Amino acid sequence: MSTQNKIISLLFAILLGFILIFGGFIYYSITQYSYRNFHERLHIRAITTAKIELDFHKDASYMKEFKSEYLEKLAKEKDFIVALDTLTDKNTYARQIGVPSKFISDVILKKEASGNSETRFFTGIKYKVAGKEYLVIVSAENYYNTHHVVFLRQLLIATFIVSILLTLFVSFWFSDKITKPLKEISDKVNEIGAGNLNLRIPNIEDNQELAVLTDTFNSMLDRLETSFEAQNNFVSNASHELRTPLTTIIAEADLALSKDRDINRYKDTLQIILSEAEKLNNKTQALLYLAQTGFSKQNLKFEECRVDELLIDVKHTLNNINPENKLQFQFSNLPKKHERLIVSGNKQLLLLAISNVVSNAIKYSKNDEVKCIVYWEKDTIVVSIEDKGIGVPEAEIPFLFDPFFRASNTREFEGYGIGLPLTRNIIRLHGGELEFQSNIPKGLIVRIKLPILQD
């Protein structure tokens, strides 16, 4: 049975059970009230009859006139008065007036009793006048029970039928409302394949549980997309980027072997082969490292790292490589609590990622001033690297994460185009984000956002 049918069945059973219980309670309460109310009326008539006929010794015509004037008319009403000392055979008398013999016995024993036989109701009292006891019995047909209760029963049955239809409609509507987001998620998931891992499930704002599910699934897609990108880029880019140095090495080796040459020519050839082999080695290692960081953090050791200390280490490293750099830190907006500077991560990878961004800023600004601003934003620590270099054309910013992509204005600078994709993978492994923005009037702003370590 599908989830939708289970919801329909369960909801229908619950609503139907509630309607049955509620309808039964109403029917039982009203019929019981009808019985009690009618017996009370008969009890009043029995006392009235006893007082008028036994206390005041009025005849039947006076009693009839009194009832018609002061009491509500009851269908087929009958009054019976008999002295107890003359009642020799209770069974015979009970049959004569149309009541059970046990009812007569209950009236004599309890001084008051009520009962009914189908639609006929009767009430009796034992009344004592001048030392003599009498049985006063009043019976009548319960018009309310024979007409109004029947109408109520029919009304409840009709209401029950309508309620079944309404309950079915509500059940189908409610189940469709619940399962519709699930169907949409399922349809969207079926659209996602290896060729379009960039697709994501839209956020569901009015359902917290499904929102958590979609966020979890989208996070999984982020990891899968990164892994697929890393593998696909390794294959496609390796064939492209590795072909040039390999071709050069083969060509130089063939040329050197084609005929005898002097020793200096062989040295030049070997120097070219060594240079191309080093390029080949650097690209291969970069590609392997890029692919490795695109998978997961399961095999990485994470620890508490203070972002300000990481930046100081980056500064020391860059000073050793390029003493002329003009990197400046701005720590004026740091949070007062040092706990908000701590992130969970792999220190070596974070150093590599930040160093890549900072060294790019220094390189492409030709050692001009580079600002590194650190500030706290909600549950995120932000490292903003701002330079006044050549920048990146606005149209080319979306391609910066493509391995081996280099902006059109970087031809005079050396590089492989692997640093930023590698940095992006490292930041993703740490649950962070990497953002780019043009620095008006010139240069580039790169923001590294990392989630702080939660208590």
Instruction: Kindly report the CATH number assigned to the domain that includes residue 376.
Output: 3.30.565.10
Q: How confident is the model at residue 449 (pLDDT cuts 50, 70, 90)?
A: very high
Mean pLDDT of the chain: 79
Judgement on whether residues 129 and 63 belong to the same structural domain of the protein: yes
122, 34: one domain: yes
Mean of the pLDDT values across residues 356-372? 88
Tell me what pLDDT residue 366 has. 86
Report residue 62's pLDDT band, with 50, 70 and 90 as the boundaries.
low
**Strand order through the sheet with 120-129:** 75-83, 132-141, 120-129, 112-117
Burial class (CB in 10 A: 0-12, 13-18, 19+), 193: exposed
Q: What is the pLDDT of residue 386?
A: 92
According to DSSP, residue 56 is labeled S
Mean per-residue pLDDT, 291-304: 65
Of 61-70, 333-342, 410-419, least confident by mean pLDDT is 61-70
Same domain, yes or no, for 438 and 372?
yes
Same domain assignment for residues 14 and 100: yes
Residue bearing tokens 């966020």: 215
Q: Which residue has the higher pLDDT, 329 or 404?
A: 329
Which residue range forms the structural domain that includes residue 373? Answer: 303-451
Residue 267 pLDDT grade (very low, low, confident, very high; cuts 50, 70, 90): confident
Q: Is residue 441 part of a domain?
A: yes
Q: Specify if 170 maps to a domain.
A: no
User: Is the predicted pLDDT of residue 297 greater than 60, yes or no?
Assistant: no
Predicted confidence at residue 455, as pLDDT, reads 63
Of the residues 121, 147, 173, which one is the last residue of a structural domain? 147
Q: How far are the Cα atoms of 10, 17, 21, 260, 426 from residue 167, in angstroms, in the given order? A: 11, 11, 15, 97, 55
Shared-domain flag, residues 141 and 222: no
Amino acid letter, 43: H
pLDDT at 287 over 80: no
Q: What would the two tokens of residue 335 be?
A: 């949070």
- pLDDT at residue 60 above 70? no
With CA atoms as reference, report the closest residue to 289 among 398, 174, 419. Answer: 419
| pLDDT band, very low/low/confident/very high, at 416 (cuts 50, 70, 90) | low
Is the domain of 20 the same as that of 53? Answer: yes
In a domain, 199, yes or no: no
Sign of CA dihedral 445, 334, 355, 347: negative
Q: What is the pLDDT of residue 233?
A: 57
Do residues 238 and 222 lie in contact, with contact meaning Cβ atoms separated by under 8 Å? no
Q: Report phi then psi at 167, rounded to 5.
A: -65, -40
Per-residue pLDDT, averaged over 358-365, amounts to 88
pLDDT tens digits, 197-249:
667 777 776 667 777 878 888 888 777 776 676 566 556 555 656 676 788 88
- Helices 208-241 and 419-429, packing angle to 10 deg: 150
Same structural domain, 310 and 446: yes
Instruction: Report yes or no on 384 lying in a domain.
Output: yes
Residue 28 token pair: 């039982």
Query: With bands split at pLDDT 50, 70 and 90, how would you rate the model's confidence at 61?
Result: low
**pLDDT exceeds cutoff 90 at 173:** no
- Pair 120, 226 in one domain: no
Does any domain span residue 38?
A: yes
pLDDT more than 70, % of the chain = 84
- Residue 447 has a pLDDT of 92
Contact 450, 429 (CB under 8 A): no
In a domain, 381, yes or no: yes
Residues 134 and 238 in one domain: no
In this structure, is residue 196 part of a structural domain? no
Alpha carbon distance 19, 158 (integer Å): 12
Order of all β-strands in the sheet with 433-438: 326-330, 369-377, 380-387, 444-451, 433-438
pLDDT value of residue 234: 55
DSSP states along 177-239: HHHHHHHHHHHHHHH--GGGTT--PPP-TT-HHHHHHHHHHHHHHHHHHHHHHHHHHHHHHHH
Instruction: Over range 349-355, report the average pLDDT.
Output: 85
Rounded Cα distance, 211 and 390, in Å: 42
Number of domains in the chain: 3
Look at residue 448 in the predicted model and tell me its pLDDT: 93
pLDDT higher than threshold 60 for residue 294: no
Per DSSP, what are the bridge partners of residue 345? 303
Q: Which position has the token pair 């004599």?
A: 108
429 part of a folded domain: yes
Q: Of 258, 292, 326, which residue is a domain's last?
A: 292
Integer Cα distance of 43 and 74 in angstroms: 13
First-to-last C-alpha distance (Å) of the chain: 44
CATH number at residue 238: 1.10.287.130
One domain, residues 318 and 285: no
pLDDT value at 128 more than 90:
no
What is the C-alpha separation between 217 and 223, in angstroms, rounded?
10
**310 and 283 together in one domain:** no
Residue ending a domain, choose from 99, 132, 147? 147
Flag whether the pTM goes above 0.85.
Answer: no
Q: From the CB of residue 274, how many other CB atoms can be counted at a distance below 10 Å?
A: 11
Residues 272 and 313 in one domain: no
